[in-house]
Amino acid sequence: MPELPDVEGHRHLLAEHVAGRTVRGVSVPDAEILVGTTPQGLGRSLRGRQAGDPVRHGKWLWEPFDGPTLVFHFRMTGTLAFGADETPDPEAGDAVLLHLDDGTLRYRTSRRLGRVWWVASADDVADVTGTLGVDVTDMGADRLAELLGHKRGGLKSALMDQELIAGLGNELVDEILWRAKLHPKTSVGDLDRDAVGDLHRRLRQVLRDSIRAGHVPSGPTWLNGQRGSDDPVCPRCHAHLDVGQVSGRTTYRCPREQPGGAL
């Protein structure tokens, strides 16, 4: 599930419940998920430290502790939760818990694909994340046009390239392309400035509504709601959707409104 809107929700949770609090102790029920230190090292490093303001860039999230910083990525699975319950539930995928002044932060990755990295300083975060493009929530239409101007190949691949634009995942990109009425394999070079402008407006709209919801919605007016259906149809024109693979990801497209070849 975790797409950018979910990660933004997790950032909000950190800002609300963790920033400004002090670490009293840690639990690491799944040490394999913790990278860059040991459970003992994590406790030694964080105990007594105060949490600063969390940062999200694309689908990456980090929390500085007055120097040492925890970097979170959720991959295909994973959540953050905060509450009074201090008890780890390893069966449910609890991996790293931080016990703070007034509650416990719980990083859970049920399929164990997510990771939490420890780095000594916020300056070292980029060593973990690698090169990231502009955060998609900070990207204006001109910037999008400029970035696409340097790219070749298919539009969906370009939008999903985290080194170009950080934050767009499979579900968001399908939703955006459907609203912009663009075929996922549209050659990037075929878009003129007006088309990029329209694409950008749709992108902003999808992001705003998704972040507001805390996830990519799947209601009746969202293409995303057709995902997983045995007979997916276009929420606007009710044509049967074309489902296939693009860039190795399951892709949905309306053959009538996003014309072009089959996926």
Partner DNA sequence: CAGGATGTTGGGTC
Partner DNA sequence: CGACCCAACATCCT
Q: Which residues bind DNA (CB under 7 A)?
A: 1-3, 58-59, 73, 75-77, 93, 110-113, 129-130, 151-154, 157, 162, 169-171, 227-228, 245-250
Q: Pick between residue 47 and residue 112 the one whose CB is nearest to DNA.
A: 112
The pairing of strands 165-166 and 134-135 is parallel
CB of 213 to DNA, least distance (A): 14
Taking the least distance from each CB to DNA, the nearer of 27 and 52 is 27
Question: With respect to DNA, which residue has the nearer C-beta, 51 or 148?
Answer: 148
**Cβ 116 to DNA shortest distance, Å:** 14
**CB-based contacts of 174, cutoff 8 Å, min separation 6:** 156, 184, 223, 224, 251, 252, 253
The least CB distance from residue 155 to DNA, in Å, is 9
| Dihedral sign for Cα atoms in the order 5, 114, 147, 248 | negative
Location of structure tokens 């990029």: 196
Q: Rounded to an integer, what distance in angstroms lies between the CA atom of residue 28 and that of residue 256?
A: 51
Can you tell me whether residue 44 is helix, strand or coil? helix
Residue 8 Cβ vs DNA, minimum distance, rounded to whole Å? 14
Structure tokens at 44: 């030694």
Closer residue to DNA in complex, CB, 17/179: 179
Residue nearer to DNA on the CB measure, 100 or 254:
254
Shortest separation between residue 207's beta carbon and DNA, angstroms: 13
How many Cα atoms within 13 Å fall on the side-chain side of residue 18?
Answer: 31
